[in-house]
Amino acid sequence: MVTGGGRGIGRAIARRLAQDGAKVALWDLADHEGVADELKAQGAQAIFVPVDVTNADSISQGVEATIANLGSIDILVNNAGITQDSLLMRMDEGQWDAVLNVNLKGAYLCSKAVLRPMLKARYGRIINIASVVGLMGNAGQTNYSASKAGLIGFTKSLAREVASRGITVNAVAPGFIASEMTDALSDKQKEVLQGQIPMGEIGTPEDVANGVWFLSTDASRYITGQVLNINGGLLMV
């Protein structure tokens, strides 16, 4: 299951997991770019499931549909996320609540919904997409940074709760990744951005997807409660 799998980083994650033979359920409000059909055309087992990750009933229906079509839920990637940037003194409660509800509460609801089948199977991989700003902060993103910092704490706590049952819980914290937002930047702005990154370049969605893929496999079986930073050296901890 990849939440927010209809585009961007979620799309790249779905493609990478399918490439490795995983059956993929893309959860999103809409399959914006026909990713499920694309994967099926390539021979993968993939379905699109319309789900609102802030709504427990929608998630419950999504779990039922996923299990009915694909048989089990072994991997959950909590990728769905939004931004509503503003300086705190100008930020209204709606902007704060919307970001926390999708980015943090959504991960809580989805993780809770898949735990029962994972516990029964004594196997599972939960991977939460956090952000470098959850570790270092960013002006104008108090709501987004708080949601991602909360997601990291959530990751570490849940990892302790379920480790003895064969379930690992980890987070990936991307830095600056090529997206619609970075595409809109001027060459000068991109130059300044890249100047902050020791590797001198903005990452790609595929860079993030490869990290998620690793954490989803048995190659990472002894790794849990960790944050994998994928940021070109922007933040080293």
State mean pLDDT over 72-83.
Answer: 96
Known active-site residue 222: no
**Residue written as token pair 């909360």:** 150
Q: Catalytic: which of 108, 123, 144, 222?
A: 144
Give the tens place of pLDDT for each residue, 37-50.
Answer: 999 999 999 999 99
Q: Which pTM does this prediction carry?
A: 0.95
Residue 149 has pLDDT above 90, yes or no: yes
pLDDT score for 35: 94
pLDDT score for 180: 73
Residue 114 has pLDDT above 70, yes or no: yes
Residue 185 has pLDDT above 80, yes or no: no
CA pair distance 160, 176, nearest whole angstrom:
29
State mean pLDDT over 107-122.
Answer: 97
Residue 184 has pLDDT above 70, yes or no: no
pLDDT score for 33: 82
More confident position, 144 or 33: 144
Residue 32 has pLDDT above 90, yes or no: no
Structure tokens at 182: 């970075």
Residue 181 has pLDDT above 70, yes or no: no
Percentage of residues of the chain with pLDDT beyond 70: 99
State mean pLDDT over 172-186.
Answer: 83
Give me the torsion for CA of 140, 142, 147, 149, rounded to 10°.
110
pLDDT score for 191: 87
At residue 121 the predicted structure's pLDDT band, cuts being 50, 70 and 90, is very high
Average model confidence (pLDDT) across the chain = 95
Which CA distances in Å does 53 have to 2, 7, 102, 142, 188?
11, 16, 7, 21, 37
